[in-house]
Amino acid sequence: MEKGYFITGTDTNAGKTWATIALMRYFKQQGKTVVGMKPVAAGCFNQDGRLKNEDALLIQENASLHIDYDLLNPYAYQLPVSPHIAGIHNPVNLAILVERFTVLKEMAEIVLVEGAGGWYAPLNDHEDISDLAKSLALPVILVVAIKLGCINHAKLTYWAIQQSGIPCAGWIAVCAAPDMLKQDENIRTIKTALDVPLLGVLPYQATANFDLLASWLVL
């Protein structure tokens, strides 16, 4: 069993957080202790005088043990824009993220790290999500939003992961469009195109039932 996984997606709103929480529930059902990390989050709100992010709070809530918010989400930006823009006055420092991750991985058997945006989303003026994944040295799980255009997005992102030299443990299909035509055919096409395992197909849900979503995962 790997120490953890880095969760990336084909785009913003691809379903990374739902997949991350489903994975957390899955590993907990396997008897593992699990914590999560959302290193960088843009689009935060003020809670008790601190900027916090809904996705990061959900990750905090689903951990096997209490994790201080600043540990799991070191960079919380108010504006819902690219991190390199939102953090212009407080740019992401990868060394700090690696330091926080090092603490987290000593606290549980599995650490799941959710990226921001897509694989090449910029974190600062010279580094992006792929650089973060390299720094953490975790195998990647690719989340593919199953909607019109998903085949192209999945193939491009998988190719980019391969070019980065980081192992890809597999991919998760997140059904994002309730009325998508030929959904199964699209998933089969991606499954044929990517030479890594399909770890699960998460059905469309208007409101997430994470235990149900976890039941569709096979690692």
Q: How does pLDDT run across 186-214, given as a tens digit for each residue? A: 999 999 999 999 999 999 999 999 999 99
Contacts of 93 (CB under 8 A, 6+ apart): none
Taking the model in full, what pTM does it have? 0.95
Q: Which amino acid is at 113?
A: V
Q: How does pLDDT run across 66-110, given as a tens digit for each residue? A: 999 999 999 999 999 999 999 999 999 999 999 999 999 999 999
The tally of CA atoms less than 13 A away on the side-chain side of residue 56 is 26
Tokens, residue 166: 């980081």
List the catalytic residue out of 38, 52, 105, 147. Answer: 38
- Domain boundaries, given as residue ranges, for the chain: 4-213
Tokens, residue 17: 């957080």
Checking if the pLDDT of 1 tops 80, the result is no
Residue given tokens 């035509």 in the structure block: 181
Q: What is the rounded CA–CA span in Å between residue 15 and residue 74?
A: 21
Residue 217 per-residue DSSP state = B
**Could you give the percent of the chain with pLDDT greater than 70?**
99
What architecture is domain 4-213?
3-Layer(aba) Sandwich (3.40)
Q: What is the rounded CA–CA span in Å between residue 203 and residue 40?
A: 27
How much is the mean pLDDT over the chain?
Answer: 95
Number of H helices and number of E strands within the chain? Answer: 9, 10
pLDDT band with cut points at 50, 70 and 90 for residue 2: low
Instruction: Answer yes or no: 147 catalytic.
Output: no
Query: Closest Cα partner for 98 from 67, 66, 74?
Result: 74
pLDDT band with cut points at 50, 70 and 90 for residue 48: confident
pLDDT for the residue 187: 97
